[in-house]
C-alpha cells in the first residue's frame, strides 16, 4: 500500500522541530527543520539569508505539502520534483499530463487541496495542444502519493479549460487559489495575447474564474444566469494574471503583467471590470497608446501600478513569525526586475503602497511561505534553483 505520509517516518529523529503541519485526523504534527543549503550571496543590507537547495529546469509552481512541509515543484517542460527539506531527498513525480511546451506554455501551477490531509488531492494547471497550432490552459486534479522510490499523481482528470483555444503560446496565466473556507477554486485565465476577449463575457479569457472544487461553475457567480462558460466568471477585463491570493481578511487580490508598462495589482470583487484592453497605464508594444485609467471611465482602477514594470511572477500574503513586521503584507516575486517587492495593501480603500524591493541574482517565478515563516522561492531559468530565505537578523 502506498502511503502519502511515508516521508514523515523517514525524518531523522535528531533533527530540531521547526514548525507544525496537519495530520489526516486533523491533529498537529511536528515538521523537522530543513537541513542546511548552499549559501547564496545577496546585496548588502538585504533582510534575507538565502540558501540554495536543488537545481530546477524552468521551475514554475511550488506548493508546500501541509502534512509534511515537503515541497512539490513543477517545471515548465513537463516534469515535477518532490523535495524533502529535512533530508535533502528529491523524488521524481509520475502521472503528469502531456503539456504543450513552448513560449509561455508548459506545466504550470500546483496546489494541494484544502482537504488534502484526508483526500490526498492535488491540483495542476498546464498548457494543452488543441487542433492545429491552437493551445489552451487546462486544470486537473488527482491523488498524490509517494513511496521510497517515487511519487505518483493517479487518476489525474481535467476539470476546467480555457474556451476557446487560441493559436498563441502566451498569456495562459492558469494560477490556482482556494477560497479561505476551502469551498471554491479560483483560476486566473489570461487573454492569450488577443486583448479583446477580456471584455467579451461569452468566453473565459482575460478573467478570474470561481468554480466548485470539481471545476463546475460556482453558485452565486455574478453572471450565473447566463450559463455556459460565462457562469464561471468572477471578474473580467484582465490581461496576464500571474499571482492570486487572499489577504488575512479574506479579500481576493491579483497581480498581472501590463503591456509596455502598466503592471498592476487589483483588489478583485465579483462582477468588476478592470479595463483591459480599453484602459491600461501602459502602452502597446508597437508604441500605440492605450488610454490611462481615469476617475470616471467606468472601470475599476488598479490598487497600484508600475511603470516601468516589475514583471511579476507570483505573489503571496505573508503570515509568520520570522518576519513579524511584514505580517499581512504582500510579497511579489518578480521576473524581469529579479526582485521581491513588499507591498502594504488596504482592503478598505482598494489601494496599495510598495514598501521595499529586494534584489536577487536570478529571475523569480514563484514564492511560498513555510510554516516556520521562512520563504521558498523558485528561480525562473533553465539553470534555476530552489531557494530558502530566512531572516538575516536571526544570525
Q: Quote the pLDDT of residue 176.
A: 99
Question: What mean pLDDT is predicted for residues 191-200?
Answer: 98
Distances (CA, A) of 380 to 193, 210, 300, 360, 361: 21, 28, 31, 12, 11
pLDDT(394) > 90: no
Question: What mean pLDDT is predicted for residues 145-151?
Answer: 96
pLDDT band at 172 (very low <50, low <70, confident <90, very high): very high
Question: What are the grid coordinates assigned to 286, written together?
Answer: 508597437
pLDDT band at 12 (very low <50, low <70, confident <90, very high): very low
Q: Quote the pLDDT of residue 52.
A: 98
Distances (CA, A) of 236 to 200, 241, 274: 9, 11, 6
Question: What mean pLDDT is predicted for residues 281-289?
Answer: 94
Strands 79-84 and 59-64: unpaired
Q: Which stretches within the chain are classed as H helix? A: 6-9, 116-119
Q: Is 53 left (phi over 0), alpha (psi -120 to 50) or beta?
A: alpha
What pTM was estimated for this model as a whole? 0.93
Question: What mean pLDDT is predicted for residues 140-165?
Answer: 98
Percent residues over pLDDT 90 in the chain: 90
Question: What mean pLDDT is predicted for residues 212-219?
Answer: 99
Three-state DSSP class for residue 226:
helix
H or E element, residue 133: none
Where are the domains positioned within the chain? 36-58+310-395
Q: Quote the pLDDT of residue 32.
A: 84
- Report, as residue numbers or ranges, the catalytic residues: 171
For 311-348, how does the pLDDT look when each residue is reduced to its tens digit (9 = 90+)? Answer: 999 999 999 999 999 999 999 999 999 999 999 999 99
Q: Quote the pLDDT of residue 129.
A: 98
Percent residues over pLDDT 70 in the chain: 92
- What is the distance between the alpha carbons of residues 75 and 73, in angstroms, rounded to a whole number? 7
pLDDT band at 6 (very low <50, low <70, confident <90, very high): very low
Number of Cβ within a 10 Å radius of residue 283 = 17
Q: Report the mean per-residue pLDDT for the chain.
A: 93
Q: Quote the pLDDT of residue 24.
A: 53
Q: Quote the pLDDT of residue 27.
A: 59
Q: Name 149's Cβ contacts closer than 8 Å, sequence gap at least 6.
A: 91
Q: Quote the pLDDT of residue 362.
A: 97
Question: Contact 386/83 with Cβ under 8 angstroms?
Answer: yes
pLDDT(15) > 60: no
Amino acid at each position: 500500500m502506498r502511503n502519502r505520509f511515508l516521508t514523515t517516518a523517514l525524518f531523522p529523529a535528531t533533527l530540531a522541530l521547526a514548525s507544525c503541519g496537519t495530520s489526516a485526523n486533523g491533529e498537529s504534527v511536528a515538521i523537522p527543520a530543513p537541513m542546511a543549503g548552499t549559501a547564496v550571496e545577496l546585496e548588502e543590507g538585504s533582510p534575507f539569508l538565502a540558501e540554495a537547495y536543488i537545481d530546477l529546469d524552468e521551475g514554475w509552481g511550488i506548493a508546500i505539502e501541509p502534512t509534511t512541509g515537503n515541497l512539490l515543484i513543477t517545471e515548465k517542460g513537463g516534469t515535477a520534483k518532490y523535495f524533502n527539506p529535512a533530508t535533502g531527498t528529491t523524488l521524481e513525480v509520475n502521472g503528469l499530463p502531456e503539456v504543450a511546451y513552448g513560449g509561455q506554455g508548459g506545466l504550470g501551477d500546483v496546489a494541494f487541496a484544502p482537504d488534502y490531509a484526508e483526500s490526498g488531492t492535488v491540483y495542476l494547471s498546464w498548457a494543452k495542444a488543441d487542433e492545429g497550432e491552437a493551445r489552451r490552459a487546462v486544470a486537473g486534479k488527482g491523488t498524490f502519493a509517494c513511496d521510497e522510490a517515487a511519487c505518483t499523481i493517479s487518476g489525474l482528470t481535467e476539470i476546467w479549460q480555457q474556451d476557446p483555444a487560441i493559436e498563441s503560446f502566451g498569456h495562459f496565466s492558469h494560477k490556482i487559489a482556494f477560497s479561505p473556507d476551502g469551498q471554491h477554486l479560483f483560476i486566473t485565465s489570461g487573454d492569450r495575447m488577443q486583448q479583446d476577449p477580456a471584455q467579451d463575457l461569452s468566453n473565459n479569457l482575460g478573467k478570474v474564474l470561481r468554480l466548485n472544487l470539481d471545476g463546475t461553475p460556482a453558485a452565486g457567480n455574478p453572471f450565473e444566469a447566463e450559463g455556459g462558460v460565462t457562469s464561471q466568471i468572477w471578474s473580467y477585463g484582465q490581461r496576464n494574471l500571474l499571482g492570486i491570493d487572499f489577504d488575512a481578511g479574506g479579500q481576493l487580490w491579483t497581480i498581472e503583467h501590463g503591456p509596455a508598462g502598466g503592471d498592476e495589482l487589483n483588489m478583485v470583487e465579483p462582477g468588476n471590470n478592470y479595463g483591459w484592453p480599453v484602459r491600461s497605464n501602459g502602452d502597446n508594444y508597437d508604441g500605440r497608446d492605450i488610454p490611462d485609467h481615469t476617475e470616471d471611465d467606468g472601470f475599476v482602477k488598479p490598487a497600484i501600478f508600475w511603470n516601468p514594470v516589475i514583471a511579476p511572477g507570483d505573489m503571496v500574503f505573508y503570515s509568520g513569525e520570522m518576519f513579524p513586521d511584514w505580517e499581512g503584507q504582500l510579497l511579489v516575486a518578480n521576473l524581469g526586475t529579479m526582485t521581491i517587492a513588499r507591498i502594504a495593501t488596504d482592503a478598505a480603500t482598494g489601494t496599495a503602497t510598495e514598501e521595499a524591493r529586494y534584489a536577487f541574482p536570478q529571475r523569480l517565478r514563484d514564492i511560498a511561505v513555510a510554516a516556520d515563516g521562512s520563504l521558498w522561492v523558485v528561480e525562473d531559468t533553465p539553470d534555476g534553483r530552489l531557494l530558502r530565505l530566512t531572516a538575516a537578523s536571526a544570525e
